[in-house]
Structure 1
Amino acid sequence: MSKVQQSNLAAPSAPDRAALPETAVSVEGLGKVYRGSSRMPEKVALKEVDLNIPRGSLFGLLGPNGAGKSTLINILAGLVTKTSGQAKIWGYDIDRDTRMARASIGVVPQELNIDPFFTPFELLELQAGLYGVPPAERRTMEILGMLGLADKAKAYTRTLSGGMRRRLMVAKAMVHFPPVLVLDEPTAGVDIELRQQLWTQVKALNDAGTTVLLTTHYLEEAEQLCDTIAIINDGEVIACESTKKLLKRLDNKELSLTVSEELTEVPESLRSFGPELVDGNRLIFRYRASESPVADLLHAINESRLSVVDLRTEEADLEDIFLQLTRKKS
């Protein structure tokens, strides 16, 4: 049994894990330059990118438009030829072990490419045939069931809802049992309910052992889902850390205190904390989260004898960090 088949839809057993690669995707010095023409200058899309995606992770690849995300994914999928460097998928070099490398990855593109006159069952059977999966080894109904589409197996795809079509795209990418699944902007233009349905299914696949590489412009989505995040900008990886560690890069926190009294100035007991007075009844305290002066601050608020109406805190999120890292320097 191949390494690809060992890591299909179900998590491998303990004895099998030792034989599996620790790194699902490995990229070293990867570069891509698109040739110029008489009308268009040469375009450097990737600049010696180094990236390692651990096996079993739900990995986020973020970046502004034109940063190089799609180029990187297309190189891994075999749709774009790299200019330099090395890339491996599930331990297989994309140049030396092309067939196995491509068999180890499934890509869900942003665009829907589903024939409306086929049923989901027929589409998956056709896709499996294109990947050379023998009829006896196909698990079409199991895949449809995992993605909540078993009851629609014989329905024409044109009758499916938008969320079902998105899930069908994921099912198509899973027919050859790839251990690595790439989702390229899978929820673009999808409403909140459909997004939640899709992520429930994707997390189930990830829990079953599939390594997921996600690109998205919904930063809140990436923050909640991904255990590791890489940020790419101008063809370079400018950050690659666990989500928790990345969020700690900005150590800023804010406490907003609303009181019933109308204030003309900051009460003396609170002045040492340097708050900003807003609208006459709201005090905003800014501090470093790592210093955690909240206990002293709450004691001072109690000493001020103000009537507190509302108290809330805010801290830096992934969007703040993303903007700080990708902001163009003047």
Structure 2
Amino acid sequence: MVSLFILIYGMAAAAASSAPEEGTLTLFTHMLKNMIGFDYLEEYLSYKWLLLPLILLYAFYVIILFTSYVASLLLHIWKKKNNLPEDIDKSWDLTRRGAAYFVDKVGRILHGYEVIGMENLPEGPGIIIYYHGAIVIDYPFLVARMYIEKGKAIHSVVHNYICHLPGIQLLLKMTGCKNFSRDECVKILKEGHSLGIAPGGLRELNFSDEFYNLLWGNHIGFAKVALEAKVPIIPIFTENVREVCRTIGKIWLTKWLYNNVAPLVLPTYGGFPVKLRTHIGEPIPYDPNITAKELAQKTKAAIENLRDKYQERPGNILRALLARFEKCHKDN
């Protein structure tokens, strides 16, 4: 991601250096004026700086989307070159492993990423439940580490709008990401695979903060799936994930719009290379005598316990950056 940003910046700088003295914006203005006869276009564009903060705030999402399209393009080229099938099967294992090593290396370099409690992962299927940060950056690192160390390919439930983005379907298929239905989730688990879910979803992304409050509402679907598939739930929590990026715009209007009009993705700022350390809690075993609501509450309490034990609240960006220099994690 960083290299892509550097590449984009370099291309922009090269273009700017080769432009005439009047500047590319002025030249572009004159071209548009000649084409559409808009005499006040130059005056209008002089207010472009008013839009710059908004553009910068959503730049993180643009970079992620651009990176996804580049990765998907490379996968299509690799698939064509190696005559790989459309369906993701064992012939894709080498590609998956290479991608996992790359993602893991990025996590180690950018965030000194660590996983504590890998021994708590069951050998069989299970549902991994995690806290949803402003940017879901810790979970892909965990998935990559699990594939490298355990050989477990994790399926992940993602928001429906991601699944409808054109051009990245192959990337989503290879990484096992989809807005799976309840029946599909049960089938995946019964086939022996594991599943990752963030019950807080976009609400937690937008409206949680440095106090790391879990905003699950009445979401108990994951508990119903676990009971139907008869699998354990594995709670996880990542230290400092909220210090990587922070959301802004958490006001009554955006909350009302989110609840009553349509899901929103609030702008973010950050991209700080803070220390990330994922803690895997003890599995919550299948219990036929517990209700889905009780299981959801038990899972939420387990993640809150991990948070309270390992996360100093409120989170602090400077403290999270300094944690990169710690030699070992704190057990209490």
Instruction: Indicate whether the TM-score tops 0.5.
Output: no
Q: Please identify which structure carries the higher helix content.
A: 2
Q: Please identify which structure carries the higher strand content.
A: 1
TM-score scaled to structure 2, two decimals? 0.32
TM-score scaled to structure 1, two decimals? 0.32
